[in-house]
Amino acid sequence: MARMSKFDLVIFDCDGVLLDSELISSGANAEAYTRLGYAITHNEIAARFTGMPDEAVDAELMSEIGKPLPPGFRDDIKRDVLAKYRTELQAVEGAATLLSSLKTAKCIASSSSPAKLALGLIETEMFELVYPNIFSTKLVERGKPHPDIFLYAAQKMGASPSRCMVVEDSVAGVTAAKSAGMTCVGFTGGSHCMDGHAERLYAAGADSVVDRLDGVNSFAE
Beta bridge partners of 210: 187
Active site residue 15: yes
Buried b / exposed e over 57-81, threshold 16 CB at 10 Å, is bbeebeeeeeeebeeeebeebbebb
Active site residue 207: no
For 26, 40, 118, the CA distances from 64, given in Å and listed in that order, are 18, 12, 32
How do the residues of the chain divide into helix, strand and coil, expressed in percent and rounded to 5?
Answer: 50, 15, 35
Rounded to whole angstroms, how far apart are CA atoms 169 and 105?
20
Beta bridge partners of 15: 19
Active-site residue among 8, 15, 54, 207? 15
Three-state secondary-structure class, residue 84: helix
Active-site residue among 13, 20, 148, 169? 13
* Residues designated as active site: 13, 15
